[in-house]
Structures are given as C-alpha cells and as structure tokens.
Structure 1
Amino acid sequence: MAQLKAHEVDAWLARPRQETPVVLIYGPDRGLVSERARRFAQNTGIALDDPFSVVRLDAAELDKDPGRLLDEANTIPMFAGRRLLWVRNAQGQKTFAEDVKALCASPLADAVLLIEAGDLKKGTGLRAAVESAAAGIALPCYADDARSVDAVIDDELRKAGLSIDPEARALLRRNLGGDRMASRGEVAKLALYALGTGSISVEDVRALTGDVSSISVDEAVDAVLEGNLQAFDAAFARQALGSSQAYAVLSSMQRQLQALQLMRVAMERNGTNAASAVAAAKPPVFFSRRRLVEQALGRWTSRGLARILSRLHDTVLQTRRRPDLAVALAHGTLLQIAVESRQNAKGALR
C-alpha cells in the first residue's frame, strides 16, 4: 500500500482494512509504537488472550531462523478464523526483512502480520518491503506534539475525574512528549497522587513529575531565543546524543516561534508592548519563561519570525529526506537563528 503521514495514523487505526494484512508500526517513540500496536491488535477482532490465535515473536530470533516466519504465516488455524503474528523489536535485520518481503508478495489468507519496529530509514530493508507492497502499510510514530500531549493528559485525567489548572497543564506539557508510554505513566501517576482533590495544581506537578522528554530540548530552544551560542551547543549535544532525535528540537522550536509570531502580530496590530502581549497569550506563558519570551518579542518582527519559521520548515523537510544528516542540518539552522537573535539584541529588529 504505502506509508501514511503521522497525522493520518490514528484515523486509519480506528478502521483498519482487512485487505492490508501486513502492518508495520515504527518510529523513535517506542511507547507510541507499542500503544498503537495494541490498538491495532484489538481492532482486528482476533482474541488476544487465545494462544492458538496470537503468536508473539521476536524479530531477532526470526532473523536467526530463516523461513520460520513463512512457516508461521502459512500454518492453517485450527480453532480460529485468522491468526495474528505479532513481531516485536524489529530493526535492520536483513533476513527478517527478506521474509517479510516474501510474505508481502504472496498476500496472507489466514493471518495478520503486525510488526513493531524502531526508527527505520526510508527506502531500505523492512520499511521499503512493506511500503512497496500492495498488502502492506507502514505507520510512523514520532514524538508527540503539543496537541497529542494534551490529548494524553485529557484522556488520563478524564478517567480519574480530575481537571487541571492552565499553568499546571503548561508545566506538565513541558515535561512530557518524548515517549508516549512514559508520558501516560507520568500523567497516571499524577492523577493517582491528586485523586479525590478534583483538580491538579502547579504544586502537584512540581511535586510528582519528572522530565520524561529530557529538559535539554527546552534548554536548546531557550538558548536559541537568547542567542546564547555556548548554551545552545551544550543542550543540543545532550539532546542529539540521547534517546530523542534532532527533530524534537526543531519541532519544539517551531512551536515556540509560532507562539511568538502570534504575540508579535498582536503587538504590531494593537500597538501594545511585549509584557502586555505575553500577559494576554493563550495558552498562557509559564511564569518562569515570561521574561525570556518578552525579550524574544523585542528582538524579532512578525516578518522576521515568518522568515525563520520558513527556514525551519525547509530544514525539517531536509532531515526527512536525509535522516543521516538530520543532526547536522538541525544544528546548522538552529545555530544560525541563535546568531541572528544575538545580533538582534545588539541592533535593529529583523
């Protein structure tokens, strides 16, 4: 079939097609990969607690045992209409990828193949085999954006019958997003802590949540806004070498600049100052960052923000086309923006 875009995945999972029996769910957010795999498995209609209907396999073991996947796929189910072959921990295993390609070429009649994988390069191995097959579909899972994080927060708090203060939400959102499973765990833990109180406050969030997505993302973004080149290099290096990828910083930078652009437009349209624009911002700017945001608004015009947002968008596209150069591309663009921000602090607005 093909690969869906990241924002199309949830809609497809709500109504998976039976004519697509080979499903690859992959990406750097392993928690989201696992969550979506469970959702797909539940929507197949196959009894997941039946050992005759569900065969759980490991890609590394299958790679060492050529042909086993083919044998499992061609086994006629004795006690069920269809079987689910659920494979986890797929990466760059060559033999496993070849077996999957063979299955894709000969559509499965009595089985569904579900594969959980890490981040896979476009056009190679397992991902290429599934994307090029009429019977296969590849579903990418990238780190949650602000809207997805809010959905996780709302979902978990709804179950607990709790609401959350706007500033508490803003603080909690900053600490989530690197891994879906970890994010859900943090929100569930917070909900249990606040159970019976009715609402979650900033103090509750501070008392209980850690930084799941790595604070170096925020540090890198703030350093760019400040024009602090040394701090940016240090924070970006920690992020790029950690479990998350360079796109996490690019994505966070885009969201921050979009928020700044809205505030700067309001300033220019209404003739207000930066402090007033920050005070009126929705969602509200977390109090500890207000001074930083006010300073950034004083360094850029709305036109300048539009220009660097366009540059960021181009960089995101380049990183998707050349994932092997993602870190270098992201670092170069963000460093250029940091340099401009530093220059703007000393001279005229851009």
Structure 2
Amino acid sequence: MAEIKAHEFDQFVKRRAKEYRIFLIYGPDRGLVSERAGELAKMTGVDTADAFSFMRLEASDINADPGRLYDEANSTGLFGGEKLIWIKGAGADKNLSDALSGIAQNPPDNAWIIIEAGDLKKGANLRKAAEGASAAVAIPCYADDAKALNSLIDEELAASGLRITADARSLLLDSLGGDRIASRNEIRKLALYAQGDGTIEEQHILDIVGDASAISADDAVDAILKGDLPDFLHAVQKVVASKTPVFLVLQGCLRQFQMLDLMRAEMDERRVSAQDALNIHGRHLHFRRKPVIEGALRNWNAAAISTEMNRLQAAILQSRQRSSLEDTIAMQTLLATTLIAARGRSRG
C-alpha cells in the first residue's frame, strides 16, 4: 500500500514520484489538493498547453463512461510522447474506482493519471483502489499545521526579501490555515503591501491580512472551554461553511483536554498556580488563547478533566464505528461539553 504522509510530499516529488503512474490526491484542504496536483503535473514534464498530450476531465466524465479512462490512457498521441490525464472533482465514485482498479493492474507506460478528490474516508472505494495498487500512490491533504504554515510563510517572504517579527508571525498564523491556496495568496498580498519595508510588523498584518482560515477549530474549542454556547455555535457554523468535518473539532477538543490534564497534574502535584502550569506546558500557545486555558484550569478539576477525556475518546471511537452519524455524534458531544463548562463557570 502506497500512501505519502504530508511532510513527505516535497521529497517524494523530487525523488520517488516517477516510480508511479497514477496519483490520487485527496482531502478537505481543496487548495492544497490542487497545489499538489499541479506540482505532480510539472513533475511529469508533459506540456499542459499541448492538447494532443494533455487532457483535463471531470470525474463525472469517467462515471458516465468508465471505459474512457482506459481508452485515453492507452491511446497514442498524434505526435507520440507521453500523455497526462488530469481528473478533477472525484468523490465516492464507484465507476471511477472500478476504472482506476482496472487500469492499475496494467498501467500504461506512456501516460500519467492525476486524480483530485475531496475528503475520502478510510475504506472509500477510490482510496482502496489507489492504496492497493503498486503503480498508484495516495496523497492525503489535510489542513496545514503550524510547522507547514511557518514553512509557507518563510518560503513566500524569502522570495520577496522580507523578514517578519515573532509577534507579527504569531498574528499572521492566526489568520491562515484550512486552505493552502488561500493562505499563500494572503501571504503574497502581505508581501506586496510590505515591499520596501524590510521587516513585517504586527501593524502590517492588521492592515492587510483577512481571515484566510477555513477551519475555526481553535475558536470552537475555546468557546467550549469557556462554556460560551453562542460563540461555539458561531464557530461551528464557520467550520461547516468551510466544508471541514466537525470531527476535527472533536479531535481538537480531546487534544486540549489532554493538555489540561497535564497542566492540572502539575498544579495538584507541585502546588503551582494555573498561570505557572500554563507557562511550563503551554509555551507554544498563542498569547490570545492563554487566558482561555487559564480559566479552564480554574473551572475543571482533575477528576472532571479525566471524565471528559474518556467521554471524548468514546465519542471519537463511536463516530469511527458509525461513520454515517459522525457529525451528529460530534455535535452532541461538543454541545454537552460546552454546557458542562458553562455550569462549572457559573459555580465558580
């Protein structure tokens, strides 16, 4: 089974991509899916301006005529040479999955196939077809983490000859994520605005950068910890509008409670304050989130944190076992946690 982890992609394109003929790029970050498909297209060396060697199709074209993929991949271009077939808009498409499985058993020597898909669950037919074929590779594209966003910032600003202060970087990171293309465009817009200034300061960010983040998971988690139901519902609306799985908020909430558990243990065992525990274990947190975490440490004791972690873990397991109810399970669990936090805050 061939699957490339997010951090392996750059080296994969440089060193190993030519070992494969079929690429499935999928995930909730549509911008990153499109960007990585473009990088793979460049790797093939096929001229995308040449109508005789390059063909762009929609997944619906293959679903309507499954044999077309085989025919196109094995046909010879007018002037010979290699071909590139780039398929967009794939999802849970049985006909496309069957076509991919068939062609992967006897892959063409002179054709490349790139398939862009949305977020495919583990076990989805298209993923199984790509992951189970020796000539194919599956490449997941999830929202950029802090490391990936920092690399993106460094890459774009270096190209413009700009530096950025630590505080400005933290503020910029808050405005990025969720969609790679949107994030890249925001950084380029910032670089153009700051051209000639040498160093980007916080004011540059405030002046020019919008909210490029398609994921409001941190906002939702913070609202949960505060027990603020209106803020939670607003943040979840942004998550849903971005077509990001609510499950990611559930995961983020569990990670936050795991951190609270670590901090609470520090407070109870070493008799330190919430602020001291935060300084020890929360140095990586953005300064705007620290008051929320500090407040949660005062409202949640060790036993309550442990109970909530167990409930969140059970919900994650249940959502994986009953994938059709994933969003419902996540929302019910997160709403319950928000209400528990609200009761704890009112008692405090």
Please, what TM-score do these two structures have when normalized by structure 1?
A: 0.83
Question: Aligned residues: percent identity?
Answer: 42
- Deviation larger for 203-212 or 241-250: 241-250
Q: Deviations over 1:251-286 (max 9, x none)?
A: 543565566566556656765433455567533633
**Structure 1 counterpart of 2:152:** 152
SS in 2 for 1:143: coil
| Distance apart, 1:342 and its partner CA | 3.2
Letter in 2 for 1:131: E
Could you tell me whether the CA contact under 8 Å between 2:63 and 2:96 is conserved in 1?
Answer: yes
1:201 aligns with 2:201: yes
Cα 1:156/1:17, change in 2 over 3 Å: closer
Letter in 1 for 2:284: P
Letter in 1 for 2:127: R
- Structure 2's unaligned 5+ residue stretches are none
| Distance apart, 1:38 and its partner CA | 1.8
> Structure 2 CA distance, aligned partners of 1:310 and 1:151?
35
| Distance apart, 1:137 and its partner CA | 1.9
> Structure 2 CA distance, aligned partners of 1:193 and 1:262?
42
SS in 1 for 2:115: strand
> Structure 1 CA distance, aligned partners of 2:69 and 2:296?
56
**Structure 1 counterpart of 2:68:** 68
**Structure 2 counterpart of 1:138:** 138
| Distance apart, 1:225 and its partner CA | 1.0
- Deviation larger for 207-216 or 195-204: 207-216
SS in 2 for 1:56: strand
Letter in 2 for 1:274: A
> Structure 2 CA distance, aligned partners of 1:188 and 1:262?
39
Letter in 2 for 1:22: I
**Structure 1 counterpart of 2:273:** 273
Could you tell me whether the CA contact under 8 Å between 1:143 and 1:178 is conserved in 2?
Answer: yes
Cα 1:176/1:256, change in 2 over 3 Å: farther
| Distance apart, 1:25 and its partner CA | 0.4
**Structure 1 counterpart of 2:324:** 324
Q: Deviations over 1:66-87 (max 9, x none)?
A: 4222121112356565322222
Matches within 5 A, 1:11-160: 11-48=11-48, 50-77=50-77, 79=79, 81-160=81-160
Letter in 2 for 1:327: D
Could you tell me whether the CA contact under 8 Å between 2:179 and 2:214 is conserved in 1?
Answer: no
| Distance apart, 1:327 and its partner CA | 1.4
Could you tell me whether the CA contact under 8 Å between 1:240 and 1:327 is conserved in 2?
Answer: no
> Structure 2 CA distance, aligned partners of 1:202 and 1:98?
52
> Aligned residue pairs: how many?
347
Letter in 2 for 1:338: T
Letter in 1 for 2:176: L
Q: Deviations over 1:163-218 (max 9, x none)?
A: 22223222222221111111111111111111221222222112211112247434
| Distance apart, 1:339 and its partner CA | 3.7
> Structure 1 CA distance, aligned partners of 2:192 and 2:303?
46
| Distance apart, 1:2 and its partner CA | 4.0
Please, what TM-score do these two structures have when normalized by structure 2?
A: 0.83
| Distance apart, 1:118 and its partner CA | 1.4
SS in 2 for 1:243: coil
SS in 1 for 2:86: strand
| Distance apart, 1:8 and its partner CA | 4.5
Aligned-pair RMSD on alpha carbons?
Answer: 3.3
Cα 1:77/1:242, change in 2 over 3 Å: closer
Q: Deviations over 1:9-64 (max 9, x none)?
A: 45433433444311100111110101111222233344555554433333223333
Letter in 2 for 1:142: Y
SS in 2 for 1:76: coil
- Deviation larger for 203-212 or 119-128: 119-128
| Distance apart, 1:94 and its partner CA | 3.7
**Structure 2 counterpart of 1:285:** 286
> Structure 2 CA distance, aligned partners of 1:9 and 1:324?
31
> Structure 2 CA distance, aligned partners of 1:312 and 1:73?
47
> Structure 2 CA distance, aligned partners of 1:13 and 1:324?
35
> Structure 2 CA distance, aligned partners of 1:89 and 1:272?
53
Matches within 5 A, 1:246-257: 246-253=246-253, 256-257=256-257
Could you tell me whether the CA contact under 8 Å between 1:167 and 1:284 is conserved in 2?
Answer: no
| Distance apart, 1:125 and its partner CA | 3.5
Cα 1:216/1:284, change in 2 over 3 Å: closer
